[in-house]
Every structure is written in structure tokens, then in C-alpha cells.
Amino acid sequence: MAAGKEIRTQIKSVENTRKITKAMEMVAASKMRRAQERMKSARPYAEKIANVATHLAYAHTEYKHPFVIARENVRRAGLVLVTSDKGLCGGLNTNALRLVMTQLKQWQAAGVEVDVSAIGNKGLGFMQRLGANVVSQLTGIGDTPRLEMLIGPVKIMLDAYMAGRIDALYIVYNRFVNTMKQAPTLTQLLPLTKLANEDEASLRTHWDYIYEPDAQPVVDAMLKRYIESLVYQAVAENIACEQSARMVAMKSASDNAKNVIGELKLIYNKTRQAAITKELSEIVAGAAAV
């Protein structure tokens, strides 16, 4: 009964695979909870600093920071690409990278060159295969992103913007909608144009801050932190997305494995039964001949 043994081995191996995917699912589920908490705890800072940035946009400052001045002619764009370090998380990275591809094509058509800052292994590998100009990279963030890690890559982009090497800065990441849904998102970081949208009547009057020591260093520091907080928020969301996408992917893998095992067991039992029936009929036929 060679076929029976083969099927038994196959069942065994699928069972082992299922054990692994099941374990990964559970690990991802517990990591997801923590990642979501981290994402939420980063929100107050993001809100507050956005508030301050909005106030700043309303203040009648004598000093206009380069970040808030829109440039008409975009010749070179910067792109911060946030992806996960590891795979096995469904279509998460693929979706984000597809979004990047369409954007890159648009830029190419418009004759805009691109500098990429890759955060996460998957995006880095993709950009390198593509032969894009990767100016900075950050990999191995792990499960707990810290703002400190992001300062370097962000600074390179901000410096390039200040020096006029790039005229706009974008970020691509997966926005966390809910556990089942992650939306790849492309947002413009620089120049900061959307700040003055909020309608706060109290801020419409003519006023300005007192700056200590001077307007320029304070506004510089403030806007730098604002961008950093946006990037941090994106990374935190992407990690929450990664874990939930992995959990879902691993759950469906486990379910599939369960189905495959069921089918294989059915085939195994059928062949076993067929063999027994055959043997019996042979014995009966033999007895009848005697």
C-alpha cells in the first residue's frame, strides 16, 4: 500500500505547516494589540503638534519658513517609503508598492526625478531592484518604533528640501483602518500647504507669538518635529497594519491547511477501504474456486 503511505506523509507535513501558521497567527494577534496601543498613544502628540502648526500658519509672522512656501516647479521629489521588514503578511507591501509604482510612472511622465528614503526591508529591496536613487534607509525597526530611529532618515530629506535638491516630499505607508482593512496611502509632507484649512474664528485676528530666543530657530525646531511626528505616526500605523495583515493571512493559511488535511484524509480512507475490499474479494474468489 505505497499510495497510502505517501498520503500519510503528506498529511503529516501539512499538519506541521498548519502548526507553524497557527503559531504565527497567535503571535501576530498579540503583537497587533500592542502595536495598536502604541499607535493610539502616539496620537495625542500628533494632534497637539498639528494644532500648534495650524496656529503657526495663522500667526502673522515676519519670518516665513521654507517648509510652508509652495514651490511652483517640482523637478525632483522626495519619497519616504514605509514598508514592513518581513514578509508573510498578505498583500500589505504589494499594495503599497503598487501605489508607489503608479506615482513613479506619473512622475516619470512629468519628468520629475525621485529620491527615495526607504524605511523597512521590503520597500528597500523593491527600490533597489528598480534602480531608484535610495538616499537613506532604515531597517530592523522591530515591533517598537522609536522616534529616535527616524530622526536620521527624516533629516536627510529635510536637509535636501532646505538645500533645494528636492522640491516636494511625500510619504507612502499603510493606514490602519481596522484589523481587516489597511489602506495604502500617499500623503504630501512638504511643502506644508494644508495647514491653514481649519476654521477657528479666534485665530483670525491679527496676532503673533512671542518667540524665544528668535522666530527662526523656534519655528525650525517646531516644523522639524512636526514632520518627524508625521513620519513616526506613519511607521506606527504601518506596524499595526503589518501585524493585523499577518494575523489575517496566517488565519486563512491555517484554515486552508485544515481543508487540505480533510481532503487528504478522505482520499487516504477511500484508498484504504478500496484495498481492503479488493483483498476480501480476492479471498472470497479464491475460496469459491476451491
Partner 1 sequence: MAMTIHVDIVSAEEAIYSGSAEVVIAPGQRGELGIHPRHTPLLTTLKPGAVRMKLPDQAEEMMIYVSGGILEVQPHVVTILSDTAIRGSDLDEAKALEAKRAAEDAMKNREASLDYAKAQAELAEAIAQLATIQRLRKKI
Which residues contribute to the site for partner 1 (CB under 8 A)? 38, 41-42, 44-45, 48-49, 51-52, 55-56, 59, 117-118, 124, 128, 134-139, 146-148, 151-153, 155-156, 159, 207-213, 217-219, 221-222, 225, 228-229, 232
> Min. distance of Cβ 288 from partner 1 in angstroms?
58
118/250 with CB nearer partner 1: 118
> Which lies closer to partner 1 via its Cβ, residue 46 or residue 261?
46
How far is Cα 197 from Cα 54, in angstroms, rounded to an integer?
8
| Nearest residue (CB) to partner 1, 18 versus 31 | 31
CB of 24 to partner 1, least distance (A): 27
- DSSP annotation of 70: P
What lies within 8 Å, CB to CB, of 222 at 6+ separation is 49, 52, 53, 56
Q: Which is nearer to partner 1, 210 or 289 (CB)?
A: 210
Cβ atoms of 189 and 80 closer than 8 Å: yes
Please, what is the minimum distance in Å from the beta carbon of residue 6 to partner 1? 33
Q: What's the Rg (C-alpha) of the chain?
A: 28
Label residues 214-253 b or e (16+ Cβ within 10 Å = b): ebeebbbeebbbbbbbbbbbbbbbbbbbbbbbbbbbbbeb
Burial zone of 166 (CB within 10 Å; 0-12 exposed, 13-18 middle, 19+ buried): buried
Q: In what order do the strands lie in the sheet with 133-138?
A: 133-138, 113-119, 76-82, 168-178, 181-190
Whose Cβ is closer to partner 1: residue 232's or residue 268's? Answer: 232
* 119 versus 253: smaller Cβ distance to partner 1: 119
Q: Which residues contact 208 (CB under 8 A, 6 or more apart)?
A: 59, 60, 61, 62
